[in-house]
Amino acid sequence: MSAEPDLPGRTSVELFAGGGGLAMAVERSGFRPLLLNEFVKYACDTLEQNGATSRGEEERIPEPGEKPPLVRGDVRDLKMGYLEGAVDLLAGGPPCQPFSLGGVAKGDEDKRNMFPEMFRAIREIKPKAFICENVRGLLRPSFKPYFDYITRELMFPFEERDPEASWLQHNAILEAKEQRGDVKSVERYQVFTFPVNAADYGVPQIRNRIIVVGFRGDLDIDVELLRQAVSPTHSEKELLLSMKSGEYWDRHRNVRGRADVPDHVIGNVMGALQPVLPLERTSEELKPWRTLRDALADDLGAGPLPDVPWNRLDRRQYDDMPKEHIGWPDARFYAGHTPNFLDRPAKTVKAGVHGVPGGESVMLTDTPVGKNQPVDPVAEKAGKTYPYQHRYMTVRETARVMTFPDDWELCGPRGEQMRQLGNAVPVLLGEVFAKAVATVLDNAEKRS
């Protein structure tokens, strides 16, 4: 999956790999993938299209330089004991539907909850570290007791749960272990939870998540080094200041032939922001949040995506357009679902259950609404009218919002491609945490 010629010295396993966002980030951070696992067919196709290969039935550790081995299918059928002692980092975002709000008191769990498979993987592999990503909703008061239980399971994964026991009963056993403090260091993990907004790490998207990081208890890790390594690098205030100073607008002038941002757009944006513009720069060494406009112009170096002509909203792939940069018709935004604005980070990319999501994948352009063009009636009824034309974001534009490179090929129909992106970890966000784990492990080895 990586084109880098240098073979990394550290190793990784990725469960629930999806379309490859976290797997890509982990490999970019210097970890050689020993195993990938995914259940969804189109996501597996994507992984193989981008360099992974079917592992087959043989349980073996690949040699350096081999393609990452992929096992398609249910993680519950996956045996991982052959990897024991060979893995530095276990990574994944387990699907977690712990219970309905009405079932919390009873401790009723959803069968789609895959955290138990993450616990089993830790028991079988005994990795030095792990990374789990999930939705911020697990910290809501209604779910918090179960999330605390997940954390304790990650701390003490070798205390297997009785199949007949509820999570509440097992949690009581784990709490007692935590209070006694008598578990062997190699059978416990130090666990850290980080609530994050991906925009604070250079991702051009508002995406609130939790990332849980753990290190095996026998490792002498520097906790402060970890916290420093995952501290935010970008801020909203710096974006507003760059707009106020004009630096942001200057950066978008003549971007490889693209027209400058129209004055009427700048005027509208600055007029709306005037009441909240900061007065002065702080001493923090933070960069500005990246916006949707930044992603489409791509200040990361790939160059601008061409505009989608209004007469090409027809589901067709044109030869003169990048792959999957396909116009889609009938875009609308709904009550409660405002569109994406070019000069803000995009809204959270969601997986959705339909081929084309709702307002979250609609964006306003710089093209003014024509004199005879009607305003979207649903938006107007909701009191949301905008003087610019709107359209659906393309798959390639959405991939940029998730910081996937342009050469990463997504398989399946449009709806499945969007689902893979919505379920993924933004690559830049994943890199921050994977590199932090590598830094902490390197430091721990030097200290031992």
Task: Give catalytic status of residue 96 as yes or no.
Answer: yes
Six token digits for residue 268: 């509208």
Distance CA 101, CA 229 (A): 36
- What does 390-436 look like in DSSP terms, one character per residue? EEEPPHHHHHHHTT--TT-PPPSSHHHHHHHHHHSPPHHHHHHHHHH
Q: Which amino acid is at 66?
A: E
Half-sphere exposure of 18 (CA within 13 A, CB side): 26
Asked if 335 contacts 401 with a C-beta cutoff of 8 angstroms, the reply is no
Q: What is the CA radius of gyration of the chain?
A: 23
CA 273, distance to chain mean position in Å, is 28
Residue with tokens 């100073």: 245
Beta pairing partners, 364: 390
| DSSP strand pairing (31-38 vs 10-15) | parallel
Selecting among 44, 96, 132, 411, the annotated active-site residue is 96
CA 234, distance to chain mean position in Å, is 16
Q: SS3 of 380, please? A: helix
In the DSSP assignment, the letter for residue 183 is S
Asked if 286 contacts 233 with a C-beta cutoff of 8 angstroms, the reply is yes
CA distances from 438 to 26, 129, 287 (A): 10, 9, 24
Distance CA 153, CA 151 (A): 5
Asked if 147 contacts 171 with a C-beta cutoff of 8 angstroms, the reply is no
Q: Which residues contact 180 (CB under 8 A, 6 or more apart)?
A: none
Work out the number of other CB atoms within 10 angstroms of the CB of residue 80.
23
Q: So which residues are the catalytic ones?
A: 96
